[in-house]
Amino acid sequence: MSKPITDLIHHPYTPPAGFSAPQPGVFKASTVIFPNVAAMRARDWKQKVGYTYGLHGTPTTFTLEERIASLEGGKHCILVPSGLAAIANVAMALLKSGDEVLIPDNAYGPNKALADGELKNWGITHQIYDAMNPADLQARIGPKTKLVWLEAPGSVSMEFVPLPQIAAICRERGVTTALDSTWSAGIAFNGFDAGADIVVHALTKYPSGGGDVLMGAIVTRDDKLHLALKLTHMRVGWGIGVNDAEAILRSLPSLELRYRAHDMAARELAAWLQGRPEVSRLLHPAFEGSPGHQHWQALCGGNGGSGPGAGGAAAGLFSVVFDERFGTGQVDTFCDALKLFKLGYSWGGPVSLVVPYDIASMRSARLGPCPYKGVLVRFSVGLEAVEDLRADLEHALSALG
């Protein structure tokens, strides 16, 4: 007879098979238990035919990987602890000392910071290219170029790049492309159809939808590329929490509904702000006059119109450039006066957010003067009633005097 504590840990009861519910089960493990030594020796964590160790996956994380791969139209998916970790994993897997990576000027900022920090320390160089000028990219691709980052639209300034054209240039030159497709969320357009080899997605944003989970995904169609990414993933030990995976699995069924609701509300507010005298420029790819609007139309199915009725799909994000007569202090006052729009980074959750940016300081001087004069404010529209959000904006604008 074993002692009660041992029985508690090695209890003979197993629940009956065949349980079925709307959400998949949650399986948590660092240790995975093998039935015998032969099974332990025969373990193969790469093929996902069994389980080896928590870092290499559980039924819950495999389930989320498969759903994200389907969402993005890919074959393989690797989960990492954040969107930024996904970017870092791609760089670490594909670049070695002496290689070069090309990053668009309007890329997600920390991607450039990684290139300027760790990658530089490891003897990997980078160049910033003008995302809206394929000829600039073409001229920068050289024998050392091993990876080109793509992003559409650009972070903060929202220019929509001619993605298929840029991807085709890279393909022709034999350079691997990685697309940060967080904005599209697998809904507005398909990254692989646009020509990318790797699609990276910050699940932190729309797939989570709660503003409470950090996670990233790296999706591929190519087996060899996936294996290279997976080996790096295994060696650096990125683990994700299974409860976080569960939270995202629970949010995924409403992803498209939420995405379209964010989109509709954002276009209504953007159209309204565009008509305000305090605003000199609206940056939203679904609006005519926004940089790359025609590329958004071509890729995301806009029906030729502009703004709220333009068809196609877009995220709930846009930026406005304030009229030059309003300095940083006044725009800060506007942001502080907002009550429903909160000050905070990230996006994709129910709460509307706002961030003021000094856009000129974020641009590479080499590419010429920043085209945006005036302070830029980026809005992430949440799921509150649009009328209330508009009233909030109107009230805060009145604080500008």
The residue number with the shortest CB distance to ligand PLP is: 83
Quick one: 232 or 380, whose CB is closer to ligand PLP? 380
Quick one: 56 or 205, whose CB is closer to ligand PLP? 205
Quick one: 124 or 218, whose CB is closer to ligand PLP? 218
- Which helix (H) or strand (E) covers residue 317, if one does? strand 317-322
Quick one: 119 or 396, whose CB is closer to ligand PLP? 119
User: Least distance (Å) from ligand PLP to the CB of residue 113?
Assistant: 12
- Gap between the Cα atoms of 82 and 325, Å rounded: 39
User: Least distance (Å) from ligand PLP to the CB of residue 67?
Assistant: 18
* Strand-pair partners of 128: 103
**Which whole-number Å values give the CA distances from 205 to 177, 212, 349, in the listed order?**
22, 9, 7
User: Least distance (Å) from ligand PLP to the CB of residue 295?
Assistant: 17
**SS3 label, residue 153:** coil
- Gap between the Cα atoms of 162 and 257, Å rounded: 27
User: Least distance (Å) from ligand PLP to the CB of residue 238?
Assistant: 12
Quick one: 83 or 316, whose CB is closer to ligand PLP? 83
Quick one: 155 or 176, whose CB is closer to ligand PLP? 155
Q: Which residues contact 108 (CB under 8 A, 6 or more apart)?
A: 83, 87, 151, 155, 180, 182
User: Least distance (Å) from ligand PLP to the CB of residue 182?
Assistant: 4
Q: To which residue do tokens 């604080």 refer?
A: 399
User: Least distance (Å) from ligand PLP to the CB of residue 111?
Assistant: 7
Quick one: 101 or 202, whose CB is closer to ligand PLP? 202
- Gap between the Cα atoms of 177 and 174, Å rounded: 9
Residues lying near ligand PLP in the complex (CB under 6 A): 82-84, 108, 155, 180, 182, 202, 204-205, 214, 216, 346
Closest among 163, 169, 140 to 151, alpha carbons compared: 163
- Gap between the Cα atoms of 51 and 47, Å rounded: 10
Quick one: 214 or 381, whose CB is closer to ligand PLP? 214
φ/ψ (deg, to 5) at 298: -65, -40
- Gap between the Cα atoms of 128 and 366, Å rounded: 9
Beta pairing, strands 317-322 & 342-343: unpaired
The answer to whether 140 and 110 have CB atoms below 8 angstroms apart is: no
Closest among 195, 110, 186 to 155, alpha carbons compared: 110
- Residue spans of beta strands (DSSP E) within 68-113: 76-80, 100-104
Quick one: 198 or 396, whose CB is closer to ligand PLP? 198
User: Least distance (Å) from ligand PLP to the CB of residue 124?
Assistant: 19
User: Least distance (Å) from ligand PLP to the CB of residue 158?
Assistant: 11
Quick one: 175 or 202, whose CB is closer to ligand PLP? 202
Q: Provide the 8-state DSSP code for 24.
A: P
- Count Cβ neighbours within 10 Å for each residue of 99-117 and write b for 16 or more, e otherwise: bbbbbbbbbbeebbebbee
User: Least distance (Å) from ligand PLP to the CB of residue 101?
Assistant: 15
Distance from chain centroid for Cα 292:
19
User: Least distance (Å) from ligand PLP to the CB of residue 284?
Assistant: 16
Closest among 173, 196, 178, 151 to 93, alpha carbons compared: 178
Quick one: 203 or 271, whose CB is closer to ligand PLP? 203
Closest among 131, 126, 139, 84 to 104, alpha carbons compared: 131
User: Least distance (Å) from ligand PLP to the CB of residue 83?
Assistant: 2
